[in-house]
Amino acid sequence: MTLPPNVYDAEPIPAAAKAEIERLLQSGDLFRYTAPENAPVSLLEREFADFMGVKYALAVSSCSAALFLSLKALGLPRGARVLIPAFTFAAVPSSIVHADCVPVLCEVAENYRIDLKDFEAKLDDTISAIIISHMRGHTSDMDAIMELANARGIPVIEDAAHSLGTVWDGNKVGTIGQIGCFSFQSYKLLNSGEGGIMITDDADALARAVIMSGAYEHNWKKHIARSPEDEAELEAAFARWQNKLPLYNLRLSNLSAAIVRPQIAEVARRVADGRRNHDYVATKLNISPWIDVPSKLDKEERAPDSIQFNLVGMAEDEIRAFQDAAAARGVKVQVFGMSTDNARAFWNWQFIEEKQELPQTREMLMKACDTRLPARLQQPELDLIADALVRAAQDVMGNTRAYGT
């Protein structure tokens, strides 16, 4: 019999990391700026930028740090208003508050993507920057978003923490806005426990972020450029910003870089497996009259490691009963808006001074379920999860839905 799988553990770290970690342990060379050149963090930055097809990358201590540095790199003044989707992780509005800016929330639709009408309405003259958080790897209509942002000259930062491997209309998510940020926290596709990376083609933004991340004095020279032209552009940018910016010291350690580097070669497989698992379970869940897995947008190629679905026609007590029934069958389901102090429910972000009500997003969060679905799961485990969810809905609601009521 297949037991309910552990959906929280990450994959083992590739064995190739071990020799490098051993070397670092022997030499004690853990700080990225000790070695004269080619430190693991600098190599990771070069490899990640090449993998994404961009000029520059800066590895830092978390995706939150990358988002914070992105806002600082844009040189936003104190009090600048930054538009974000109301369905995201608390780290996103936190990075804005940390940068002395003000988060402005816009509505998110039932399919977990940005409501473009509300986005356009809120994108007024008071907005100085946008963070598009691709929450749980769901991509909003980036064509429409970039068109609206570009028309007003407003920079877009992509929070692609959970979107590595996701593609929008042939473009890698994270390369569409001016700056893209990714996470290496253990629930994400690349895992070093903690860590993050920002990517950009903008030499000035990169130079500012590198200095503020803690490249004091001339440590910026240890970053590896893609070409002599890029290097010349970067040097000019660093010359403009030398000694002009505060240091926040949000660097990544060599040990973390050594753990991430060999995983880049695993991304394509993890993406393919994650997508296969997600689509397999989605098809099974959609058979239930009580469950709806919203479909992806046409231009989106996903890289999921979890599945989100909406409960249909259930009252609040029935939703709670569904969660209990699923748990009794061995599958833990989180309804974003129902668990106490959930960090993805905007009403819990009480550190935002300006109180904002988003009725549409609230309604979605009260019926949207979240179940982890790691790429390493195999079909019997996927069957168990899907069957448990379908049967849990049946336990509570019965077999058929009275349409039209």
Ligand X SMILES: *Cc1c(COP(=O)(O)O)cnc(C)c1O
Contacting residues toward ligand X, per CB under 6 A? 62-64, 88-89, 91-92, 133, 135, 159, 161-162, 183, 185, 196
Q: Are 99 and 71 in contact (CB under 8 A)?
A: yes
Q: Minimum distance from CB of 214 to ligand X (Å)?
A: 17
Closest to ligand X by CB, 63 vs 260, is: 63
Q: Are 103 and 352 in contact (CB under 8 A)?
A: yes
69 vs 79: CA distance, rounded Å: 16
The number of beta carbons lying within 10 Å of the beta carbon of residue 286 is: 15
Q: What is the 3-state secondary structure (H, E, C) of the chain?
A: CCCCCCCCCCCCCCCHHHHHHHHHHHHCCCCCCCCCCCCHHHHHHHHHHHHHCCCEEEEECCHHHHHHHHHHHCCCCCCCEEEEECCCCCHHHHHHHHCCCEEEEECECCCCCECHHHHHHHCCCCEEEEEEECHHHCCCCHHHHHHHHHHHCCCEEEECCCCCCCEECCEECCCCCCEEEEECECCCCCCCECCEEEEECCHHHHHHHHHHHCCCCCHHHHCCCCCHHHHHHHHHHHHHHCCCCCCCCCECCHHHHHHHHHHHHHHHHHHHHHHHHHHHHHHHHCCCCCEECCCCCCCEECCCCEEEEEECCCCHHHHHHHHHHHHHCCCCCEECCCCCCCCCCHHHCCCCCCCCCCHHHHHHHCCEEEEECCCCCCHHHHHHHHHHHHHHHHHHHCCCCCCCC
Q: How is residue 34 written in tokens? A: 């000790």
Closest to ligand X by CB, 62 vs 175, is: 62
- Residue carrying structure tokens 């407003």: 154
Closest to ligand X by CB, 91 vs 281, is: 91
Dihedral, CA atoms, 189, 191, 194, 200, nearest 10 degrees?
Answer: -50
